[in-house]
Structures are given as structure tokens and as C-alpha cells.
Structure 1
């Protein structure tokens, strides 16, 4: 008795077709900093070194013992200072149970938003995705998310989608504002429609979703709001004026949101996360080269998404800034203007879009 065997087509990831890079391509300052954070700069490891010296009967007054003890004490003090600072700024974490959370992700079909939606979908969380792209029922069921075709730049569409989400899944408690687009044009080449569309999708959509979903979080007495901005919001860049300005506005919006939530007693358990990534391997900036793979590596949506998920599920507020330079980019603003000019010129930030051949495009690239 024969039985038909169902053939399942298999498609390898696109990254499989990429040529192997030399080993040093993957050695970046981020990797070094990460390793140091769990070894030399870790308080526990520092004290282990002290114990190892004592195990060798090293005298307390020996120079190496004093240095190891002082280093361990310094690492412990820095670690405690960081914990106290976070607690003062963000308060205690809230309890998060995914089975009781309803997660709304804007721009969640592709890129970073798509990765977050699929990750939580695989974990059977309640996921609602708002995107202009339409997803058929079979694909939605496979990914484990509910997709609502919605233009988040339109306040009425957001309100209508919110009513359906509440009816289907319940009151939203986690909002990931991720939707965005870019017009790679200079100020003079941009049309009024280009600029307006960029701000409506990248900035005004955050106001629409906050005004719509935040009251439900306040009523529930818990929630998390994730604001996806960009490191370019701190820097600006040639041929990205509308995009960088719209992302810079989100930095101020995030801080204003935190200040307003602090004035609402019922919002004590509502956490906020600011995401300011550097260049990611998404279609939005495909072909753009960074000046140095060692100092400014291109990060993947998985790298950023992992840190976002970690903060969400720990119930904490905080900031996600990858790669390493995006965490300390504020320092550039306090340097002398001459040094700032030299850094910008060396980095090629103002010529990257032109070198990638992305300028004067009539179509928009979406996440």
C-alpha cells in the first residue's frame, strides 16, 4: 500500500548566498566591548581574580593583590551606581506575563517590526500588526499574528483598527511604534508631499497610536511603549533631511512622554523604551557603507530586536542603542565644532547616500 509523500519546498535564507567574509570582518569594537563586559569589567569576575590570588597565598600587601582588590572594588561601585541610577530614573520593573499581554506593532510586516512580530508569534503571544501591506490569512496563521491593514499616519484608521484589536484580542498593553519610511532626497529636491508623508508616517503616527492606545494602558494600570527612532536623529545627514528631522522629533517625543506619564499616578507601571539603532541590514538603507566595519558595524534586526524583547519581558524602561557608537554619540555634540566637522568628514555620513546611488529616487523605501 503506497502513500503519497508531500513535497515541502525549502528556500535557504538569502544570507546563505553571501560570500564568506574573513574572520577579522566579524571582529568589531562591539564584540570586544561585549567580551570585556563579561570578563575584565564584570564585578563577579574581578572578585574571582582576587580569590585566585588569595588561593595562591598572595599577601594582602602585595602590589598585585592591592591592584586586583582596587579594581574589583571599582567595578563593583560602577555596577551598583548603574543599578541605582536606573532605579531612580525608571523605577522598579513591572511583572510581564505574555499570556496576559496584547502587543501592537506598527510596520510589523517586514524589517525589525516583522522580526518582533514573528518572534512573539512563535511564542503564542497576542500579536496585532498594523501595516499598509496586506497579509493573507494563511501567512498570518503561520506567523501566529493578527494583521490589520492600516495606514498609521491616518488617525481615523488607527482608531478603527484599535476597536477591532480590542474586540479580537483585548486591551493593548504593549505598543511598538516601528513604522517608518525614507525619501533619499536633498532639501531642494524634496517636494512638499515627500516631507509631509515622511513626517506623517515617522512622527505623527506615534501621536495617533499613543492617543489611541495609551488610555487603555492607563486603565489597565500597566504597559510598555517602545519608540523606534534612529541614531541619525542625533546627527542629521545630507540627502536625508526629512527622515532625520522626523526621527529627531521622536527623541523629544519620548522624553515628553516620560515626563507626562510621571504626572499620572495610574501610569506608574507603564514603561518606556527608546530605540536608536545605527545602520541596520534592512531594505531601507541597502547598499549604504559605513566608514569602518570595526568602529561602526552594520547591525541586524535580530541584534536590535533581542535587546528590545529583553527589556519588554523584564518589565523595564530603558534605551536600546546599537552598535556601540550610537550609545555615546551625544559626546560628539560637546566637542569643538572643528573636531565635529572632521569626524563627520571622516565618517562619510553626508556622502554615504550619494555613494550608494540612492539619491534622487522617486520611490520610497519602506521598512
Structure 2
């Protein structure tokens, strides 16, 4: 007797199958914390941004008062109308300001892009690489850490063992990328190391290594990859700096200085691209995150969970992905304080000293046991 394969369903005796206890994902295996630990100034600002400070919501209040037949000359109607006009004006000003600063977005089709990520084996870089790998984009990672062929194939990422602080290694790796995948059109400069030592304890070799990896590697990758973008007349360059580049911290002098140099380099890059007619569709993104829960600062306790919450790499990655895929230039500054950290520099020096003391930024590294460098 023949069975129709379209209708035949085999019967399995489930009584003989082994029983397995349900297991939750590892991400849920974290200690319970009181509710207020999840309350941060960023959460409050996010909620206000979509309610009280949102133009559409502001006009809804006006409509609600009119639905109650509130006269136009009533005090409450004047207040909510003025507030709605102010929020609308601020929203329009923000749109116009970004248009003037960054211009029109470029078209991005991931199938036609070649993405190069430095330091993409762990941390933020790994999250970006694996996200694009799952979406079948052309992703190449430059890192000193090795990744097996099976793991690379599973993630959909091509890994090149490369020390980005070495000019010849970068040039050789990029030449392979061009041959295998095509000209790079998206560059995410993410590689970084840290030596958590004081100035007196740091050796000349450690300081040089920090600057070669955190700073000089950006020049190397730009000088190697930017010509391909200019020939393609399109591209996106992501510079991953740090909020500490604007503020500094004790026992992190080399790291902070190397990240501060990237802020000036990014501005110079934008100025040079603006003068090049072939760079009209080359976008730039500056990333200045606060403390992330990566291996680099894994054992450092944030001074204030309310004002300066610890960031998960996904919090930063989603903002980078949003700008890249919209084809826009911009800045990714999270958490909230990192957007306004530069304002502290214009305050009186005594106020700056008090802010540093209250923030605990100069004591944060005293809790760290790191004495050696780690990749992100």
C-alpha cells in the first residue's frame, strides 16, 4: 500500500520522548532589583518627549478644551495654545537645523552596501556586525581576535584577522574586501582599548598602543576606504568616540585623550567632505556614548544610576542602525547627559569642580580591577 506524501502524517509515541524542563533565556537570569532602579532621567525625558513636549500632543490639549466649548479668550486656552505653538516652533526649528547641518539623506539599499566594522568580534561592534549579518548584508569585520569559519558562516559575517593600528595590515585587509565583497561604502570605526592606570603608572608602550588603536586607526581606515566611497559617490562613516572625550576622568588619561582627538577629527572630516563635490552623499555619524555594559568597563560601577545609567550595547546600536539605514548624518549621544556634557565647559571653574565631585566620575575607576587592556 502506498501513502500519499501530501496527506501522510507519521504517528510518534510521545510517551518515550525524554522530558526536558523549560529554560528561560540567559538574559532573564539577572537579580531582581527594586522598581526605582529602573527609573532614570532618560526614561522620564523619553516619556515627556512623547507627551508634554510633543507638538501633536500639545495640540490635542487645545482640541480637548475646544471640545468642552472652552472660549478662545479663556486663560487656560491661551496657555495651552501658547504651549502648542512653542512646541511646534521648536520642532520645526530642529528639522530645519538638521537640514542645514546635514543636508538631504542618501538612499541606502543594504544589498548594495559593503559594511566594514573595526573591533567587531565583541561588544558594540559584534552586535552591529551580527545584526547586519542576519539581514544578509555584506559585512566585513577587522579585529585581532580569531573567529572560526563555522561561527562566521553562521553569523553571516566575513572576519579578517587584522590589527587596525598597523597600516599595512589594514591596507591588505581592505584590498581583500574590495576583491571579495566590493568597494566599502559603510565604515564603522569602533575598535578600542583601555588601560585603567594613572598617568604615572602608565608606560610609554601602553600610551602609544592606546593612541594607535583608538585614534590613529581611524586615520588609517579613512585614508584607505574613503577613496572607494568617493569613487562610488556614496557612503557613511561612523566614528565611535566616548562621552569621556569631552570630560575626562582620573586613571583614564590615555583613553580620554585618544577619544577627545576623535571629536576634533570628526569635525575636520565633515569640513573636508563639505568642500568636496564628490562627497555630497557621504554621511558622517558621531557616537559619544556613556558607560556601556561591555567587557571594557565590565567591573566599573556607574556613579549614579538615575543620572548616568549603564547602557546596554543594544541601546547604542539601534540608534546607529537607525541613522545608517535612513541615510542620514547625525550624532548618537546616549544617555541624556552625554548630549549636554560639553555645556559644563562654559560654567565657572568652581561650579565645574563641584559637578565633578558630585558626579563621582573621578572615583569610578577606583572600583575597577583592570590593569590590562581589553578590546571592546
The question of whether the paired residues in 2 share the 8 Å contact of 1:108 and 1:179 is answered with: yes
- Tell me what 1:19 maps to: 31
**Cα offsets for 1:302-352 (capped at 9, x unmatched):** 000000000001111000001000000011101111111111111111111
Larger Rg: 1 or 2?
Answer: 2
Structure 1 residues 314 and 248, CA gap change in structure 2 (3 angstroms): same
Give the secondary-structure state (helix, strand or coil) at the position aligned to 2:106: coil
Q: How does 1:282-297 map to 2 (within 5 A)?
A: 282-297=294-309
CA shift at 1:251, angstroms? 0.3
Structure 1 residues 106 and 12, CA gap change in structure 2 (3 angstroms): farther
Moved over 6 A (4+): 1-8
Counterpart-to-counterpart distance in 2, 1:307 and 1:12: 28
Q: How does 1:226-241 map to 2 (within 5 A)?
A: 226-241=238-253
CA shift at 1:88, angstroms? 0.4
Of 125, 136, 145, 1:113 maps to: 125
TM-align CA RMSD: 2.0
Structure 1 residues 11 and 211, CA gap change in structure 2 (3 angstroms): farther
CA shift at 1:17, angstroms? 2.9
Structure 1 residues 62 and 309, CA gap change in structure 2 (3 angstroms): same
CA shift at 1:5, angstroms? 9.3
CA shift at 1:48, angstroms? 1.3
Of 282, 304, 307, 2:316 maps to: 304
**Cα offsets for 1:129-174 (capped at 9, x unmatched):** 1110111111011111111111100111111111111111111100
Structure 1 stretches lacking a partner, 5+ long? none
- Tell me what 2:111 maps to: 99
Structure 1 residues 15 and 187, CA gap change in structure 2 (3 angstroms): same
TM-score, normalising length from structure 2? 0.93
- Tell me what 1:73 maps to: 85
Give the secondary-structure state (helix, strand or coil) at the position aligned to 2:188: strand
Counterpart-to-counterpart distance in 1, 2:33 and 2:204: 43
Structure 2 stretches lacking a partner, 5+ long? 1-9
Q: How does 1:121-132 map to 2 (within 5 A)?
A: 121-132=133-144
Paired residue total: 363
The question of whether the paired residues in 2 share the 8 Å contact of 1:290 and 1:347 is answered with: no
1:243 aligns with 2:255: yes
CA shift at 1:24, angstroms? 1.0
- Tell me what 1:352 maps to: 364
